[in-house]
Amino acid sequence: MTLRWWRLAARNLRRHLRRTLLTGSIVVVGFVAVTMTAGFVVQTFEGLKKATVEGLGGHVRILDARAEGKTDEEAQGYLLEDWQGLAALLAKDPRVLQVMPKLSFFGLVVKGDRSIGALGTGTDPALEARASYVKKIVVSGTYFSSPDGDEVILGSGLARAVGAKAGDLVTVMTTTPEGALNALDATVSAIVSYPIKEVDDRLLYMPFRSASRLLASVGKAHTLVVLLADERQSDAAARAFAEAARAAGWNVAARTWLETAAFYKQVRLLYIGIFVFMGLVLGIVVILAVANTMTMSVFERTREIGALLAIGMERSQVRRLFLYEGLLLAIIGTLVGAVLSFVLRGVLNRSGIELPPPPGGTHGNLLFIRFFPLAYVFAFAMMTFTLLVASWWPARRAARLNPIEALAHV
Amino acid sequence: MPFTAGRVARGRGPGVPYTRPVAIVEARGLTRIYRLGQERIAGIREATLAIERGELAVLAGPSGSGKTTLLNLLGLLDTPDEGVLVFEGRDVSRVSDRERSRIRRERIGFVFQTHQLVPVLSAEENVALALWIRDLPEADCRRRARAALAAVGLEGLEARRPDHLSGGQRQRVAVARALVGEPAVILADEPTASLDSETAERLLDLFDALNRERGVAFVYSSHDPRIVDRTPRRLRLRDGRIARDERNGEAA
């Protein structure tokens, strides 16, 4: 039965085809804007998430419970004892791909008469290469040649500041957890270009065993970084690791990548804020455009509505007729918008447009808009709701007309 | 809600049995006052009349005499400020807007001064519209719409939209729309006002034929002598009052 009203709504929309097309195009543009922006934002989130996990080298970070809430400098003093035993325990979990030990230190890189402060990380070269992007961002030289060589990888900013290049010999100095000064001569095996400039200016990697000797902390690690097969299991795995470790006598805390990713969270909040604001602006534009069209339509059809009411059409039927017109516009607009969004996404993803680096970053990325089905569902729901809201007032106005006055309308 | 069968109370409560032949619509002391700022203008004053089944009546009078106001009240498009309106034996003076819509939909047909057809619908769909609003099955609506169009002599023009019909044909579609719901009465407000003499004459012939053959009552409002002179019952209005009620030229 309702099919006849949909048909009538479709024909009413065709009365002023140009006006309907203009209003429909606003719906289409709104839909495309929402889906494209969402695709871009989601892609950015995914890229940032991947970069965060790869920067950390895994999904869950295990550290001495006493280091929790301490500054990085204070945390230097808390080391995990028998990290191999703990790593073996964690590796039994089927969700785990690998467990990587890390040592962190503040030190100096010295070359000739230049010495520059560095944030040092001792890591397992093979595990690091698998879990993080350090190997992928080498710009000169080669990644670590062995697990225990006296080699370092420097960030390009640090290398420039200290005047070192791949193959040069530098001295790395730091204090051990006990407070003794120690130094190690190492060859610069590679220079990397880290995407965040502040980090790139201080970055130093060395094999875990060399770092152990430098810090006089053999058999100990500041953290264990666990790489999982599935990122979505991070929370559950972190809880399980902490419980298993405590049960086995290690006093540890387990933190997921997200808990330690302040930058990721800030960017996410910023983008969501922008997205919501844009959605609101779009919503208002669509509401105004559609409400204007519908109001004009009601005005032009006043006598006709009066006649319909006079012959006994229910007011609710009149209201429904206008709401159907709004809904139909939403459905057609979003369908056209979906097709246009697909086409435009394909064109833009193939265009090779390079975006500027993100805040604090050193590299831009190629523009890529991800297909995010939820955005299409959301945009459809948003447009439908918006058009219903926009049609509601004119529809209500039409339904409340006095048939006598409406029939006399000029 | 069922209508009260057969009898209507005069001066009693609504729906109470009475012994007079039933009128389709009966007005008793109907008054309608319009407010224009502080001023109160009477559109119609103390109108009393009854329209019987199968009757052909015209509300005649000059502009501003209250013809359209009275027709609107009889057609349940407006509510009286005073007086009682009984429709098929039931007091409908104060029924809800929804109930008035239902009665109009099921028991009253309307023909307006200009046809007031929906331009995006074909002739058949315009007629079927009067049944669509009653939520009747589509096939039934279409069949009855075609029959109504045939009854007004528009067979073969079902698929045409109003802008592809002449003025007279459009008005016939409007008559078919009024007729299709099998109403007890058809109210026509200045139905020939927008038609030339020949077309108007043919339309009036059609009204006569439908009245004769189907027994449907017609009430026109008009100051057109072509209508007034040929209508058996003439209610002459002046200054918002029924000045004279004539049947076949004699005062009733």
* pLDDT by 10s per residue, chain B, length 252: 333 333 333 333 444 444 445 689 999 999 999 888 888 888 999 999 999 999 999 999 998 899 999 999 999 999 999 999 999 999 999 899 999 999 999 999 999 888 889 999 999 999 999 999 999 999 999 999 999 999 888 999 999 999 999 988 999 999 999 999 999 999 999 888 878 888 888 888 888 988 988 889 999 999 888 888 889 999 999 999 999 998 876 666
HSE-up of B118 (CA within 13 Å, CB side)? 21
d(CA A48, CA A46): 5
- Across the interface, do B119 and A309 touch by the CB < 8 Å criterion? no
Residues A205 and A232 in one domain: yes
Q: Tell me which chain A residue has its CA closest to the CA of residue B139.
A: A1
A185: part of which helix (H) or strand (E)? strand A181-192
pLDDT band at A95 (very low <50, low <70, confident <90, very high): very high
How far CA B29 is from CA of B14, B20, B86, B240, in Å, comes to: 15, 18, 11, 12
How many residues are present in chain B? 252
Q: What is the pLDDT of residue A132?
A: 86
Q: Where are the domains of chain B?
A: 55-78+96-251
B26: part of which helix (H) or strand (E)? strand B23-36
Contact A80, A208 (CB under 8 A): no
Residues A212 and A137 in one domain: yes
Residue B245's DSSP bridge partners are B235
Residue A74 burial (CB count, 10 A): 11
Please give, rounded to a whole number of angstroms, the shortest distance from the CA of A316 to a CA of chain B.
10
Task: Give percent above pLDDT 70 in chain A.
Answer: 98
Which of A256, A274, A298 is the C-terminal boundary of a domain? A256
Which of A237, A256, A275 is the C-terminal boundary of a domain? A256
Average of pLDDT values for A246-274? 89
Contact B224, B113 (CB under 8 A): no
Residues A169 and A296 in one domain: no
Instruction: List all residues 6 or more positions away from A208 whose beta carbon is below 8 Å from its beta carbon.
Output: A101, A102, A103, A122, A123, A124, A147, A221
Q: What is the pLDDT of residue B7?
A: 37
Question: Tokens in use for B178?
Answer: 């009024």
Question: Tokens in use for A79?
Answer: 């080391």
pLDDT beyond 70 at A36 = yes
- Residues A118-172 have pLDDT tens digits of 999 999 999 999 888 888 889 999 999 888 889 999 999 999 999 999 999 999 9
For chain B, how long is the longest CA-to-CA vector? 55
Residues A315 and A279 in one domain: yes
Q: What's the pTM?
A: 0.75
Chain B residues near residue A307 by CB distance under 8 angstroms = 110, 112, 116
Please give, rounded to a whole number of angstroms, the shortest distance from the CA of A387 to a CA of chain B.
23
Q: What is the pLDDT of residue B114?
A: 83
Instruction: Tell whether A15 lies on the interface with B, counting CB pairs under 8 A.
Output: yes
pLDDT beyond 50 at A276 = yes
Q: What is the pLDDT of residue B3?
A: 33
Which of A211, A234, A256 is the C-terminal boundary of a domain? A256
pLDDT beyond 70 at A233 = yes
Residues A293 and A166 in one domain: no
Residues A15 and A134 in one domain: no
pLDDT beyond 70 at A346 = yes
What 3-state class would DSSP assign to A361?
strand
Q: What is the pLDDT of residue A135?
A: 87
Residue A316 burial (CB count, 10 A): 11
Classify residue A107 by its DSSP letter: E
Instruction: Tell whether B72 lies on the interface with A, counting CB pairs under 8 A.
Output: yes
Residue A171's DSSP bridge partners are A110, A185
Place of tokens 């831009």: A364
Contact B170, B162 (CB under 8 A): yes
Residue A312 burial (CB count, 10 A): 25
Instruction: Tell whether A350 lies on the interface with B, counting CB pairs under 8 A.
Output: no
Residues A403 and A306 in one domain: yes
- Across the interface, do A407 and B112 touch by the CB < 8 Å criterion? yes
Contact A293, A287 (CB under 8 A): no
The CATH fold of domain B55-78+96-251: Rossmann fold (3.40.50)
d(CA B238, CA B60): 9
Residues A308 and A353 in one domain: yes
Handedness of CA B83, B87, B93, B97 (dihedral sign): negative
Residues A121 and A73 in one domain: yes
Split into its structural domains, chain A has a count of 2
Domain range for A124 is 59-256
- Across the interface, do A1 and B104 touch by the CB < 8 Å criterion? no
Residues A303 and A185 in one domain: no
